[in-house]
Amino acid sequence: MPARPLSRLLSGPVSRLRDRIAFEARALATPGPRMVDEVECVLSVLLAILLAHLIGAQNVSWAAFSGYMVMRGHVAESLLRGVLRIIGTGAGAGLALLLTPVLRLSLTAAALAAALVGGLTLYASITAKRAYAWLFVGLTFEMILLDKLQHPARALDHFAAMRMLEVAAGTLACVAVSCFSTLTARRRWPAVRAAKPRRLGWHPHAARHAAQAAIAIALLFPLWSWFAIPELSQSAVTILAVMIVPATSLGASGLAPVSTRLLQRVAGCIAGSALAALFLFSAHGTPWILIAGTALGVAIGRHIENGKTGIAYIGTQFTLAILVTLVPDSYADAAITPATDRLLGILIGLALLEPVLLAWHLLAPAEKAKAASAGEVSLE
């Protein structure tokens, strides 16, 4: 039987991809709940940027992050998510302010504390009812501690206070836009409320999973000491963020779902940085071009996130890459450096986390066999 030409073998996948792209392009311009959500995100981000400038925030892109990440279709969900983000950030900042002055004197103590806080908060992020708040306890603690190690001259309380202001600005912008949308567009295209979260109770697989993240976070500290690796905080954020997967997908190993999230995080960061670079180099410091690029990037990223294609996480990371590049503290100082720094931090986090997950996957055959015999489902 003669072999079919390569062009014929590829024609099917290429045709399906072309049809999918055409469908998504039409959906982007089709009025409905999906478009409303994307417009809400754009308006929330733009308002967050304005508020951040008005209050003198020193990391405007973080306010924009909050304006994007807090937004949900129903105003009650947005409000709750914003409150949890503020509470988690405040608790993490308070814990960091209390412990960092002592921990920074000993690299070993700092590594152990970062691993402990990261592991405990990740476990709670997977199993607790108010998981979103727990996530930000861990993220904020790690960011402040690691930032202080890398920049010892930076005032700790000022950094923490700015982070709280930026989160508050983003949350306020999101809730304001969500309230306005509830009174207007959402009357015609109401949002479907998500199921209420529930507490899972003790979960051994989630505990093992959190311990693996803790090991990866602890490894950041000796590597920084030996090789002076940059972007420590972004690497810690990457480790915690990609390890948040549903407890039901863990099974005896989290290698497959976490590896997928890592690859999507890298892909989204690269794609978003590429689009941001086009606007950045075309703008030559012109604010309105950067703002237009921000709005377009947020809409595209949210559209990908809302699609039913299994690559929602790429959309999230695409948007965050857009924001970190096109939302500088001063439009006159816009540069591609924040995007490349973020990508570097992600790659370092990947390089630390994957060996830890792979080692467990290879060295724990007995537990995997036990899980399989018990009928547990794993994504691997």
* The model scores a pTM over 0.85: yes
pLDDT at 133: 96
- Structure tokens belonging to residue 74: 């129903």
Report yes or no: 71 and 178 within 8 Å, Cβ to Cβ.
yes
The candidate with the shortest Cα–Cα distance to 314, out of 260, 244, 356, is 260
pLDDT at 5: 61
- Following DSSP, what letter does each residue of 232-278 receive, concatenated? HHHHHHHHHHHT---GGGTTT--HHHHHHHHHHHHHHHHHHHHHHHH
pLDDT at 18: 67
pLDDT at 54: 94
The CA distance from 127 to 269, in Å, is 28
Which residues touch 23 (CB under 8 Å, ≥6 apart)? none
- pLDDT tens digit string along 160-195? 899 999 999 999 999 999 999 999 999 999 988 877
| pLDDT tens for the 380 residues of the chain, in order | 455 565 554 555 556 656 666 777 777 777 888 999 999 999 999 999 999 999 988 899 999 999 999 999 889 999 999 999 999 999 999 999 999 999 988 999 999 999 999 999 999 999 999 999 999 999 999 999 998 888 888 888 888 899 999 999 999 999 999 999 999 999 999 988 877 888 888 889 999 999 999 999 999 999 888 887 777 889 999 999 999 988 888 777 778 889 999 999 999 999 999 999 999 999 988 999 999 999 999 999 999 999 877 889 999 999 999 999 999 998 888 889 889 889 999 999 999 999 999 988 887 655 554 544 444 433 33
- Following DSSP, what letter does each residue of 21-70 receive, concatenated? HHHHHHHHTS-SHHHHHHHHHHHHHHHHHHHHHHTT-S-HHHHHHHHHHS
- pLDDT tens digit string along 227-248? 877 778 899 999 999 999 888 8
Average pLDDT, the chain: 87
- Structure tokens belonging to residue 229: 């690796």
pLDDT at 251: 72
pLDDT at 15: 65
The candidate with the shortest Cα–Cα distance to 172, out of 92, 106, 282, 85, is 85
b/e per residue 169-194 (b: at least 16 CB within 10 A):
bbbbbbbbbbeebbeebbeeeebeee
Which residues touch 357 (CB under 8 Å, ≥6 apart)? 212, 253, 254, 255, 258, 259
- Structure tokens belonging to residue 317: 């990371």
- Structure tokens belonging to residue 363: 């060295």
Neighbours of 41 (CB within 10 A): 26
pLDDT at 7: 56
The candidate with the shortest Cα–Cα distance to 72, out of 164, 200, 169, 181, is 181
